[in-house]
Amino acid sequence: MTAALDNIRVLDMSRILAGPWASQLLGDYGADVVKIERPGDGDDTRQWGPPWLGEQSAYFLSTNRNKRSVTVDISTVKGQAVIRDLAAQADVLLENYKVGTLARYKLDPEELMALNERLIVCSISAFGQTSSRASEPGYDAMIQASGGLMSITGAADEQGGGPQKVGVAIADIMAGMYATTAILAALNTRAQTGKGQVIDVPLYDSQVAWLANQNMNFLVGGTVPKRMGTAHPNLVPYQSFATSDGSLMLAVGNDRQFADCMRCLDLATLSRNEKFADNAARLANRAELVAQIQERLSSNTTAYWLNVLSARQVPSGPINDIGEVLGGAYAGERHLVRNLENGAGDNVPTVANPVHLGSTPVRYDRAPPLLGEHTDEVLREWLGYSAEQISELRSGSAI
């Protein structure tokens, strides 16, 4: 079967995480993704180990499947010419250089789109291409901090908490997701107009955008959201609780579920108490309700309570570590881990794309590439370069 984007060529000039996450998704959907890397060093994350699989870091492996690696030195005149030739054949160019860098090499969107009016150029940066802060660098942790996420992540102040970073670089990942959806939207527009366009995706703006209900809690309610640990600002009970041998997560989303939950805990009278009769009342009396639920859950084991709650379909679950998630039976059932062989003969595990397309399935064609593994192949396929031309570029350190 064909893949959804198997007619699309992506020139990926991004590195680290936000851009590579977007291009990996496009590759999963079938696009021919060519990853441009610095000769000798490559993507910064190639060195972000341990752990290592062969000579490749686990970090790099997490975000670069379904791509071909081509090494080009864009600081050289001949290297810049190679990029222009590739851009002329591409549908999408994705980059996350510091604002102004590509313009210095005459590889900015205006230059490249003059060569290829169908080209879609997506730029990911810390603060956007034109803002007063456009020249500032940005990494995920500082965006999580300055964009508001850390102010609502972690235990409450009264519990001794302080601002916490999320355990993965979620600001980068979400910017990559926004970039992917924007590219798909631009491809649809191009199908109607025949013209490409420029896309500007700032990490900061993306971070602010996906604060979702917490943003609206402030805009509508006027109160600045605070850290609440695992608790939910708009629902009760919706947090983790200790049991006699561990913890579990309750996620009660409506009054019916609350009544069922209370029956499971032998606290049915609480669902008839006016202080807990609906969600607004439960929010007003959060501390009292949580204390009673906690006392009850402490009386038995996690497994016991999960069985009881599951029988009535009360949303609840264990708090698993990543080893339990990826090593569990359900991971096997869902094929959450796939294995691909790379160019060095290593067996590379990869976590599956969660999307299941009925007629154009996600592809797992390529393990993350070795540095420069496909340079000659791509220059021949995309550009028709001869062996002599490639040899000349290599001898001049352009590739």
Residue 1 confidence (pLDDT) above 80: no
The residues that are catalytic are 172
**Tell me, what's the pLDDT at 137?**
87
- Under CATH, to which class is 9-210+329-395 assigned? alpha beta
User: Do 39 and 367 form a contact (C-beta atoms < 8 A)?
Assistant: no
Largest pairwise CA distance in the chain = 84
**Tell me, what's the pLDDT at 138?**
85
**Tell me, what's the pLDDT at 231?**
96
C-alpha distances (whole Å) from 77 to each of 89, 324, 398 are 19, 51, 8
**Tell me, what's the pLDDT at 91?**
98
The C-alpha angle 188, 175, 365, rounded to 5 degrees, equals 65
Alpha helices in 73-211 (DSSP H): 77-89, 101-104, 109-115, 140-146, 170-193, 203-209
The rounded mean pLDDT for the chain is: 97
Rounded to whole angstroms, how far apart are CA atoms 258 and 236? 9
Across the range 356-380, mean pLDDT stands at 97
250 pLDDT tier (thresholds 50, 70, 90): very high
Q: How confident is the model over 111-169, as pLDDT tens digits?
A: 999 999 999 999 999 999 999 999 998 899 999 999 999 999 999 998 889 999 999 99
DSSP state of 358: S
Residue 192 confidence (pLDDT) above 80: yes
**Tell me, what's the pLDDT at 279?**
96
Q: How confident is the model over 80-120, as pLDDT tens digits?
A: 999 999 999 999 999 999 999 999 999 999 999 999 999 99
Across the range 220-234, mean pLDDT stands at 96
Q: Which superfamily is assigned to 238-319 in CATH? A: formyl-coa transferase, domain 3 (3.30.1540.10)
**Domain chopping of the chain, boundaries:** 9-210+329-395, 238-319
Residue with tokens 């649809």: 188
The tokens describing 324, both together, are 């339990």
